[in-house]
Amino acid sequence: MGEPALILVRHGRPKIDLDAPPTTWTLCHEGQVGCAQLAEQIVAYKPTAVVSSPEPKALETAQILAHRLGLEVVVDEGFHEHKRPAASFGSEQEFRDSIAKVFAQPAAASAPHGGESAQAAAQRLAETLAKYQGKPLLAVTHGTVLSLYLAQRLGLDAHDLWRSLHMPDAFVLDDTGALVTRLG
């Protein structure tokens, strides 16, 4: 196994506000505490750069991690969640059913909502990550796109991976793309 090259992080637990789009949610107190705890684990991997999705829950996660590491956060739109533009959070079961459809039809635009396909989301994340040379890179993103990307890289079932994710969660990959460890 090679040296750690990428620490891919799913954001911390958000404050769910059903009256606001998920893209505007911030972290709840539990999410902030979880991110601070994750930062203590990540410090051993000595990331040299922190990049983040612009969504508040991801950006707040990145800021907590970066503060502990003494680094600045670079915001990059390419780290945003899988585009499901007409999707609303709805009930927990409706959300889970919607996500299951994304994973079941990776080449289709995210039915029934329109938007990017699961394959396109994974490709977008891969292309965004390729722009950054600092290693190890700490990148904060979202559960669906993270699962899609890692499933392609590691030969995993994306839906199973998504269901197993914590908030926050982190995966350390080496310079060959192999999984070193999972934190969180």
Q: Which domains does the chain have, with CATH numbers?
A: 4-172 (3.40.50.1240)
Residue 7's DSSP bridge partners are: 138, 172
Cα-based distances in Å from 128 to 39, 112, 142: 23, 26, 14
Q: pLDDT of the chain along its 184 residues, tens only?
A: 678 899 999 999 999 998 888 899 999 999 999 999 999 999 999 999 999 999 999 999 999 999 999 999 999 999 998 876 555 556 777 777 777 777 777 776 654 555 788 888 899 999 999 999 778 999 999 999 999 999 999 999 999 999 999 999 999 999 999 999 999 7
Beta carbons of 60 and 12 less than 8 angstroms apart: yes
